[in-house]
Amino acid sequence: MSEPAYSLYQLKRTPFHERVAALCLPQNFRRWAGFVTVGSYDLGLEREYWAIRDAAALIDISPLMKYVIEGPDAARLLDRITPRNIAKLSIGQVFYTGWCDDEGKLLDDGTITRLGEQSFRLTSAEPSLRWLAMNAVGMQVSVTEVTDQVAALSLQGPKSRAILNRCCEQSVDPIRFFRMAPNSLQGRSVTISRTGYTGDLGFEIWMDAGDALPVWDALMAAGADYGLVPCGILAMDMARVEAGLFMIDVDYTAANHAWIAGQKSSPYEMGLGWTVSLDKPGYFVGRRALEREHRDGSAWRLAGLEVDWEGLERLFAEVGLPPQIPSMAVRGSLPVFHDGRQIGYASTSTWSPVLKKYIALAHLERPHFEPGTLVSIEVTVEHHRRQAPATVVALPFYEPEWKKK
């Protein structure tokens, strides 16, 4: 019997699918950028979450969109579309950045790695080839999507460095935070960057898709004595909230996806003011709008919320229950109030096992985003809307001392 024809609507499989699918005991798969990916490998998230915080976790991040930008005008193109000063990006360094429309509102965010003098790799959450091509008109530059050709793994946790040193040809000790270096792993050429999406010590390993399975096997074997476990995106979601890291179309709406102006967000509003280089020369997309916002201030800002546990207990005790908290991060809007008036909303909330607190990323109006402000957040208690007391805090919620060492 012949194989069924490939459907245009069928989710793609990452180069690691053969390994991750066999290990995914609950068959908990999720969709990510057109790929099928693992939500969790166990029925619960505890083992995977604590691997991130106490040992090491291996996460398939191949669905990230990846582009190689090369040519005499490669740096000029990236300097035009992002607010970062690309002239300051050295070979082997990684910049995190957002990029905006003409109104200074975020279209996407990702990383730029300088591979050579005229060669860069850009990662993004959403397809960006058309946007790159539009801005490259008249430039001597080539833009190539390599999403399917380049596989990627994220090795996160305090034991991640030791694991890589066990199986890599060269020590990864010299790789500083947000730097990258070529290496060899099980005889396969890889590049390793000191980056991640968990707020812990971690690395991302980039390789040819054809080398994916041998690299996976080598890492799992090297990490066996260190408690390495495969990890899905649901445990990573909890960790990234603790780290104060936001997600596109969850914590902010891409400007080209928004229906109304109020759904859009600027880098300043999302806490990315440090990525906006208004002192760099020349034009970049969104510059004039960002200059105005820098001068006048932002109407709202992303901030952290810590929910008062005793206050939450009292609300549930009124109906004879202990606090009912979700077992994973909740991607949903929860209104936030101050003196009875709604002043914003939480976009993602989660129980933090390492902090023993219920926390949330919240969009708050000025001046209520200042740390120490007392607010309340809507919670549902036995089908009734109630308000639990909370305090605005600075981000990140959690940043271990070994993260940048």
State pLDDT tens for residues 214-273. 999 999 999 999 999 999 999 999 999 999 999 999 999 999 999 999 999 999 999 999
Note whether 200 and 340 are same-domain residues. no
pLDDT at 9 exceeding the cut of 90: no
- Mean residue pLDDT of the chain comes to 96
Instruction: Identify any residues that bridge with 336 across adjacent strands, giving them in sequence order.
Output: 344, 377
Q: What is the pLDDT of residue 10?
A: 87
Query: What residue has token string 């976790």?
Result: 57
In a domain, 374, yes or no: yes
Helix (H, G, I), strand (E, B) or coil at 252: strand
Among residues 258, 278, 296, the one where a domain terminates is: 296
Check whether 2 has a pLDDT greater than 90.
no
Residue 321, both tokens: 């229950």
Same domain, 41 and 168: yes
Q: Is residue 247 part of a domain?
A: no
207 in a domain, yes or no?
A: yes
> Are 280 and 405 within one domain?
no
What CATH number corresponds to the domain at position 282? 3.30.70.1400
Residue 62 to residue 32: CA distance in whole angstroms: 10
Q: Give the CA angle between residues 153, 95, 135 to the nearest 5°.
A: 105
Q: Is residue 3 part of a domain?
A: no
Which residue range forms the structural domain that includes residue 54? 12-63+148-231
Q: Same structural domain for residues 177 and 35?
A: yes
Asked if 180 and 240 touch (Cβ cutoff 8 Å), the reply is no
Question: Which residues pair with residue 40 across a beta bridge?
Answer: 28
376 and 405 belong to one structural domain: yes
Q: Which of 278, 296, 314 is the last residue of a domain?
A: 296
* Domain co-membership, 310 together with 389: yes
pTM to 2 decimal places: 0.95
Q: Are residues 318 and 352 in the same domain?
A: yes
On whether both 272 and 313 belong to a single domain, the answer is no
CATH number for the domain spanning 51: value is 3.30.1360.120
Token pair recorded at residue 21: 């699918």
Indicate if 303 and 393 belong to the same structural domain: yes
Indicate whether 304 and 404 sit together in one domain: yes
Q: What is the mean pLDDT of residues 11-26?
A: 97
Based on the fold, state whether residues 34 and 97 are members of the same structural domain.
Answer: no
Task: Answer whether residue 274 is part of any domain.
Answer: yes
User: What whole-number distance in Å separates Cα of residue 329 and Cα of residue 331?
Assistant: 6
Residue 242: inside a domain: no
For residue 171, give the amino acid letter. Answer: S
Does residue 47 lie within any of the structural domains?
yes
Confidence of residue 8 (pLDDT cuts 50, 70, 90): low
Q: Which of 208, 231, 254 is the last residue of a domain?
A: 231
The pLDDT tens digits for 301-330 are 999 999 999 999 999 999 999 999 899 999
Per DSSP bridges, beta strands 12-13 and 35-40 are parallel
pLDDT score for 223:
98
Does pLDDT of 7 surpass 70? no
Binned at pLDDT 50, 70 and 90, residue 86 comes out as: very high
Number of domains in the chain: 3
Mean pLDDT of 380-388: 96
Q: Are residues 19 and 154 in the same domain?
A: yes
Give a yes or no: residue 239 inside a domain: no
User: What is the band of 1 on the pLDDT scale with cuts at 50, 70, 90?
Assistant: very low
User: What CA–CA distance (Å, rounded) separates 126 from 105?
Assistant: 15
pLDDT, tens digit (0-9, with 9 covering 90-100), for 21-48: 999 999 999 999 999 999 999 999 999 9
Contact by Cβ (8 Å): 122, 164: no
